[in-house]
Amino acid sequence: MRMLRVWLRRVAGMWRRDDGEFAAELESHLAMEIEAGEQRGLSPQEARRQALIRHGGVAQAQQAYRERRGLPWLEQLMQDIAYGARTLAAKPGFAVVAILTLALGIGANTAMFSVVDGVLLHPLPFPHPEELVTVNASKPNFPEGSISYLNFRDWHRYNRTLAGFAITRSTGYNMTGLGDAEEMRAELVSSDFFPLLGVKPVAGRLFAPGEDEIGRAPLAMIGEGFWKRKFGSDPKAIGRVLTLDGRDYTVVGVIPESFRLSIGRFREAEIYVPIGQFQNPALNDRGAGLGLHGIARLKPGVTQAQAQEDLLQVSARLEQQYPREDKGIRARLVNFQDSMVRDVKPLLLVLLGAVGCVLLIACVNVANLMLARAHARSQEFAVRAALGAGRGRLIRQLLTESAMLSLAGGALGLLVAALGTRAAIAALPATLPRAESIHISGPVLLFTFAASLLSGLLFGLVPARKVSRQSLVGTLKEGGRGTYGGQNRTQSTLVVLQMALALTLLAGAGLAVRSLVKLSNVEMGFDPHDVLTFGLQAAPSVGHADESGVRAYLREAEARLAATPGVEAVSLSWAAIPLYSEDDHFFWLDREARPQSESQMHSALRYIVGPGYLKVMGLRLLRGRFLAPGDDEHGARAIVVDDVFARTYFKGQDPIGRQLYLENFDDPAQVVGVVGHVNQWGLDSDASQSLRAETFESVLQLPPMQLGLVPSGMDVLVRVKGGDTGAAFAAVKRSMADMSREQVIYNPTTMDSIVSDSLAGWRFSMILLSVFAVTAVVLASLGIYGVIAYAVSERRQEIGVRMALGADRSRVMRWVLGQGGRLAVIGVALGLGCAALLTPMMASSALLYGVRSFDPLTMGAVTVVLLVVALAACAVPAWRATRVDPMAALRTE
C-alpha cells in the first residue's frame, strides 16, 4: 500500500511538471499571438481575447493535454473518492446509519453463504472428488438399502467401470486392557476403503489387499486422536495389541485426524477393522444387508450413467444366478457429495434466498437515505453543472460515494458474518453434513466483495437516476425545492417494495413456526418424558458364552437395572429405537405359502424388547396382551403387532391368535396383542413411508445366531421416577459396575432429546427465517418512518397552512398516518401476492408440515403484525406534525 501511494505521488508529480512545461509553452504562444494582434492595431485587451478564442482557453487546452498524456480516469476517481470522503464526513450520522444498515444485510448474507459454501459448494477433501459415488442396493421399501457382503464381492469382481470399490459399516467394541473397559466407536471397512479416498497413514501402513477377507488375522488401524490419547503418539504403538470384545487385534497403522467422512451412518471412528472380522454369521448370507454401504471411484473418462448401467447389468446377472436372495436387487449409484447434502440442499437454498431479501431491503433503505441526501444536495449539483460538470460526472460521483459506503458496510459486515457464522454453527443440526467445512474462506470473501459492490450499485442508481433527470436550471431557480413531488413518489415506491419483501419473509417465518407447532403436537405413539436410553456392552466373556449363558446374563442385567433406585421400569432392546435407529425383517402370513424370494415376502419394522417395554415407552395396548416374562426360550414364540400391521395384513379380521412366519425362524410366532403405532421415521415423514407396519418380539426368544450378537451391543430403555435422568444414570452405572467392571455403559441420552434432535432441522429453519423476518420488519419500519418523517419536514408549511385554516391536531395526525397507512397497505397487498408465488417453494422443499403454503391464518396474522408495526413507525412523525406552530411555519415560507 505504501509503494502504491509513492507511485501515485510520483505520477501526480510528473503530471504537475508536465502541466507546468505545457503552460509555459502555451503562454509563449499566446504572447506571440497578442503581439501580432497589437501590431495589427488591436488594443492589448482585444488582442488577448482574440488569441484566447483561437486557442480555446488556457484551462481547456491544459485539460485536453492532460487527458491525452496521463490517466484521467484514475485522477478523476481519486478526486471523486476524496470529495466523497469529505461529503460523507460532513454528515457522519448519515454515513454511520447507512454503513450499519449495509453491514447488517451484507453480514447476514455472508454468514449464510459461508454455510452454503461449506456444505454445498466446497469440494470434498479427497483427490478428484467428482469421481466418487456411493453404491447402495435398491430393494423394496429401501431405494438405497444396504449391500450384502457377498453381493459387494461380486459387484467388485465383475464391474468394468470402477477404479475402486469399498464398503463400510459403523460398529462398536468393548475395549479392555488399556485402563477401564471402554466402548470404542469403530468402523468396519474393506481394504480398498482408504486407498480409494487417497488417505495416507501418519504411521504404519494401511490394510493390504486380501486382509479384509473372512478368516484372515485380526488387524486394526487407529485414529490419530486415539493414538495421542492412549499411546502418547508413540511410534512403537504399531504392532501393539488391542483387546476388542475379548479378541486381540494387532495395530498396523494410524489414520490422520484430518480424515472426515459422512456416508450413511458413518461418523469419525477411533478404530478401523477389516470387514472380514465382523463377527456376524450372516456376513456369508447373500440376502443379509447388515448395514453395509458402498463408496466407489469411477475410472477416468467414465460417467456415472455408464457406471450405473454397468452395475445394473452385473446385478441382473446375479439375480438370475441367485433368484431367492437377489430377486429385485439392483445397484444404485449417487454422486458422493450429492448423497451427503441432498437432504439439506433445498433448506439452505431457501434460507439463502430469504437472507438475500434482507440485503435487498437494506439496499432499499440506504437508497431512500441517498435519495433524500441527493435532494438536499440538488443545489450543489446544479452549481457544479453550471460550472461545467457533465451529468455523467455527477452520476459517477454519486456512484463512487455509494461504492464507498457499500465497501465500508461490507468490511464491517465481515465482522457481523464472523459472529453470525459462529452462531449459525451452534444452531446447526448435529446431523448436518460437512459442518466442519464452514468458515470464512476465500470464496466467501469474494462473495462479500461482490455483494458489497452490487449493493452499492443497487442503492446508488436510484439517486443517480434522479440527478440525471432533474432540471438543473429549474433547481437553481427554485432553490432546491422544486423536485419534492417526484422525490416523494420514488421514496414511496421504495417503501412499498420494502413492505412487500418484509411481508414475504414474515409469511415464510410464520409458516415455519406453525409447521413446528404442528410437528410438536404429532401423535408419537409413545411417551418420551422421563425415559433414559443408553448402550450396554457385556463383558467379553459373555459374548463367547452359549445360549443359556447369554440369557442368564440378560435376565441378571434386567433384574439389576429394575432394582436400581429411581428406576420405575426397564427394557432391553436390540433393534429399532423410535426416531433413532431402525431394523426390519421379512415374513409371510399363515394363510400364505412360503415365497420363493425375499422380494416376494412382506416386511415390517422390528422391535426386539423385553416385557417392560410397554410401560417404559407408554405404548397403548389396544387388544390382547403385551410380551410377558414367560415369553422366553421355554414358551411358545409370541409376537405383538401395531394397528397399522393389523389393518394392512388382517383387514378387519381379529389378528389375535394368528401366526406369522419370520425369515430365519423355524417355528411360527403367534400374535398375542395389538398396540398403537409408534412413530419410527420422524414426526414429519412417518405417515409417508411405505414401511410402517411394526412387530414386537421378545429378546429372550431370539434364535441362537442372533442371540449371540446381543451382548456385543444392546440398548437399554429406562423410565425414571421423578424425571431426574442424570441421577438415575449415575445409579445405574454403580449398579452395573457391581455386576461386572468389564462391561461398558455408554452414550446416555433421553428420549426427549431424541425427539428434539429429530426436529433440529425444522427448528434451525424456523430460527433463521424468524431472524431474517424480524430484521426485515425492523428495516422496513425504519424505511417507512424515514419517508414519513422526511415528508413531514418538507411539508411543514403545508401543515401550517392546514392548521391555520382550522385543521385540528387529530386531523393532522390522521392525515399523516393515512399517508403511511396507504403505503403499508399497498406493500402488504403486493407482499401477499409475492408470498402466494414464493411460499410454495417451501412446500416443495419439505419445509412445511400440516399447513398450506398460503395459509389464511398465517397470512392474516403477519398482515396485522406488519400493519401495526408500520403505523407505529408512522406515529412519531405524525406526532411531530401535530406540534408544528402554524405561525412559525408560515413565517419561514
Q: How does residue 488 score in pLDDT terms, banded at 50, 70 and 90?
A: low
How does pLDDT run across 543-570, given as a tens digit for each residue?
888 999 999 999 999 999 999 999 999 9
Which helix (H) or strand (E) is 605 found in, with range?
strand 602-609
Residues 883 and 799: beta-carbon distance below 8 Å: no
Find the mean pLDDT for residues 201-213: 94
Tell me the CB-side half-sphere exposure of residue 769, using CA atoms within 13 A: 30
The overall average pLDDT reported for the chain is 84
Find the mean pLDDT for residues 580-588: 89
Residues 6+ apart with CB under 8 A from 607: 573, 575, 576, 583, 613, 678, 694, 695, 696, 697
- In this structure, of 191-195, 471-475, 580-584, 776-780, the range with the lowest mean pLDDT score is 471-475
Q: For residue 762, is pLDDT > 90?
A: no
Q: How does residue 11 score in pLDDT terms, banded at 50, 70 and 90?
A: very low
The β-bridge partners of 573 are 609, 715
Quote the CA–CA distance of 854 and 859 in Å, as a whole number: 7
Whether the pTM exceeds 0.85: the reply is: no
DSSP string computed for 448-460? HHHHHHHHHHHHH
R_g (Cα) of the chain, nearest Å: 38
Q: How does residue 490 score in pLDDT terms, banded at 50, 70 and 90?
A: confident
pLDDT at 829: 93
Q: How does residue 704 score in pLDDT terms, banded at 50, 70 and 90?
A: confident
Percent share of the chain, pLDDT over 70:
87
Quote the CA–CA distance of 15 and 68 in Å, as a whole number: 11
How does pLDDT run across 721-734, given as a tens digit for each residue?
988 899 999 999 99
Q: How does residue 8 score in pLDDT terms, banded at 50, 70 and 90?
A: very low
Q: How does residue 885 score in pLDDT terms, banded at 50, 70 and 90?
A: low
CA 191 to chain CA centroid, Å, is 34
- How many Cβ atoms are within 10 Å of 561's Cβ, its own excluded? 24
Quote the CA–CA distance of 827 and 833 in Å, as a whole number: 10
The β-bridge partners of 145 are 137
Decide: residue 113, CB within 10 A, 0-12 exposed, 13-18 middle, 19+ buried: buried
Q: For residue 214, is pLDDT > 80?
A: yes
Q: For residue 405, is pLDDT > 90?
A: no
Find the mean pLDDT for residues 268-293: 89
Cell of 369: 437515505
The residue with greater pLDDT, 149 or 11, is 149
Find the mean pLDDT for residues 819-846: 88
- Tell which residue, 288, 322, 284, has the closest CA to residue 148: 288
Decide: residue 98, CB within 10 A, 0-12 exposed, 13-18 middle, 19+ buried: buried
Q: How does residue 291 score in pLDDT terms, banded at 50, 70 and 90?
A: confident
Residues 44 and 23: beta-carbon distance below 8 Å: no
Highest-scoring range by mean pLDDT, 41-50, 206-215, 425-434, 538-547? 206-215
Residues 190 and 212: beta-carbon distance below 8 Å: yes
pLDDT at 472: 54
Decide: residue 28, CB within 10 A, 0-12 exposed, 13-18 middle, 19+ buried: exposed
pLDDT at 720: 95
